[in-house]
Amino acid sequence: MNDLKDMDAFHLDVLREISNIGAGNAATALSTLLQKKVDMKVSRVIPMQFNEITEYVGGAENIVATVFSRIDGDISGNMLFVIGEDNAKGLVDDLTGKTGDGQLSDLALSVLQEIGNILAGSYLTALADFTGFELQTNVPSLAIDMAGAMLSFGLMEIGRSGDWAIMIDAEIHTEEETGTDDIAADTEKNKGENMDKGGKGKSGHIFLLPDPESFEKIFIALGVHRYGSN
Amino acid sequence: MAVIKVGIADSNICKAPDSITTLGLGSCVGLTLYDESNKVAGMVHVMLPSSEVARKGDFKKAKFADTGVPELVDMLIKAGANRSRLKAKMAGGAQMFSFEGKMDTLSIGARNVEACKAELMKLRIPLIAEDTGGNYGRTIELFSQTGILEIRAVSKPAKQI
């Protein structure tokens, strides 16, 4: 594979399956934590340019909560749990059983970080089991700010070698209630199909952004590196 | 008056009365150059300090401080700016996540800021104002009529430098 943007449909499907397995495990973990049904959508795997990624999350200035984990080991990359501000507050309320006053307290922030921690951990456990990789992560870090400011940090490593990244996006959502919207719902910049609008419950996204060298390693581990056009 | 947008790892220029902006700077640096006499302004959204790390021969110059700043100077001269009158301002270079500093001795944001300063020094362009560092994202806009750089951040009042 010379360039990430030239990855063929078969290999994109393999990545989608990995994401489904990882996110499935993460959704189960969140469901146990919340004592609520948590669903996931079929993951999306899309090669895109940097600027398209910020559009994908509703524009560079869209305010989101992001829990960021750096993955190291047999493969490396970044994992981001991204959730809109209102959804984040709702999720914390669900977990603590309280209705917040609209502000995210220090306690709420650590709850949110812990949710991100659990999601990333369970996603990566599934990924490691499936591929046989040894994987470690640092302690995740939480920030609530403009999406562009946080995602561009996630793209830094990929940026060294090219202008394209493969966005592996898993969406999970809690059911019930007259939910607030998806992270991108309040922006018109959003092109519609990228992010689901409306829906019920709270939804967040788990983005996996492997470093460029890691794709080949994933495909070798799964025995599919020679499959398809290459 | 038009507002020219600059994306990640990109650069552009504008002339009065237009303004030029880039959104959601985190560890990236938004560096602006301005010639007051001709009212020509340029902006580059630098993502990484040095093009030495580029693993391919073919890359976007605006992505790196050491190639993006000289390229912006060339663009401005072509647009009629006077090289010796160019003055620089910059913003960004934040550390968005708490573990960043542990990955390297300096976080990438601080390294981006340093690399931009080194490049300006090399090109003998004075840096007259900056709003860098911190742990928050910034949107910046340079008004080519006045040369004022406006910085906007979440839950902070807008700032002009």
Domains of chain B: 3-160 (3.30.1330.200)
pLDDT of residue A36: 83
| Given B25, B28, B40, B72, the catalytic residue | B28
pLDDT of residue A228: 57
Please give chain A's pLDDT, 230 residues, in tens: 457 778 888 889 889 998 999 988 888 888 888 888 888 888 889 888 887 888 888 888 999 999 999 899 999 999 999 988 888 888 888 787 777 666 777 888 888 888 888 888 899 999 899 889 999 888 789 999 999 999 888 888 888 878 888 889 888 888 764 444 455 444 443 433 334 444 457 888 889 988 888 988 998 888 887 765 54
Q: What is the DSSP letter of B135?
A: S
Give the global pTM.
0.85
Nearest CB to B8 within list A51, A68, A144: A51
Domain A7-175+201-222 has CATH 3.90.1720.10: no
Residue A145 sits at the chain B interface (C-beta within 8 Å): yes
Nearest CB to B137 within list A142, A146, A155: A146
- What is the ipTM for the molecules in this complex? 0.86
Q: How far apart are CA A212 and CA A165, in angstroms?
A: 8
pLDDT tens for B87-133 read 999 999 999 988 765 666 568 899 999 999 999 999 999 999 999 99
pLDDT of residue A94: 79
Any catalytic annotation for residue B28?
yes
Q: Determine whether the interchain pair A163/B25 forms a contact, defined as Cβ–Cβ distance below 8 Å.
A: no
Q: Which residue of B has its CA nearest to A148?
A: B24
CB < 8 Å from B in window 70-89 of A: 70
